[in-house]
Chains A and B, each alone.
Chain A
């Protein structure tokens, strides 16, 4: 089945540093990838939609200068949390929808997530 790989799975860093999270579709092309954030005991909140070759679309309330998204190829999207602070500590999950499936609106394939801990 379709596989989405996320890296790293867990990162701990000091306040003020920037952290990059990668999301790769391993066996399919994904024009669109999605970035979610999950706080403890809460649901997934859509942060932004990443579009290959163009700017990401951010949800209301998500700072685009804080969460930089780059979707440079059909198999890779990156999320960079800039100048991270403890309140940015969360579980970040990416998902991808195969380009071939977009018109049929098939389910997204999820990565395993990245646990970000800012000290």
Chain B
């Protein structure tokens, strides 16, 4: 069965700190990987996606993610967070036809 695991449920950082959110998945076949963000009171927005090719993917707002196939991981990173990055971040995996979401990580950035 397909599953997605996000390691941290809550993360608190100060502005300018570096961010790394973990995401691991289990699926036996080819996957497509996504990170979504949900700002307070808003709907989901796509941050970045990986389908194939370069395993280091760059997304919007300075975010990037690296697909490590051997570790079944797709961690999200940002070198320097801002207060406006306060949101909930969801890792999602499409294997076959369905997209499954991780439990989410709530990031709070202190100004």
| A107 at the binding interface (Cβ < 8 Å) | yes
Which residues of B, 32-82, contact A by the 8 Å Cβ criterion?
32, 34, 43-44, 46, 49, 51
| Count of residues in A whose CB is under 8 Å from the partner chain | 17
Q: CB distance A43 to B102 under 8 Å? A: yes
The distance from the CB of B93 to the nearest CB of chain A, in whole angstroms, is 11
- Cα separation A84 to B102 with both chains bound (whole Å): 27
- In Å, the complex CA distance between A108 and B94 comes to 10
B residues 91-111 near A (Cβ < 8 Å) are: 94, 97-104
Instruction: Find the residue from A45, A105, A112 having the highest chain B CB count within 10 A.
Output: A105
Residue A33 at the B interface, CB < 8 A? no
Interface contact B104-A46, CB-CB below 8 Å: no
**Residue numbers in B under 8 Å from A42 (CB-CB):** 103-104
Binding site for A on B (CB under 8 A): 32, 34, 43-44, 46, 49, 51, 90, 94, 97-104
Q: A46-B98, A110-B44 are in contact. List 9 more A-B contacts (CB 8 A).
A: A36-B101, A43-B101, A43-B102, A43-B103, A43-B104, A45-B101, A49-B97, A110-B43, A112-B43
Could you list 14 examples of A-B contacts with CB < 8 Å?
A34-B99, A42-B104, A43-B90, A43-B103, A43-B104, A44-B90, A46-B101, A49-B97, A93-B43, A93-B44, A105-B94, A107-B46, A110-B44, A113-B43
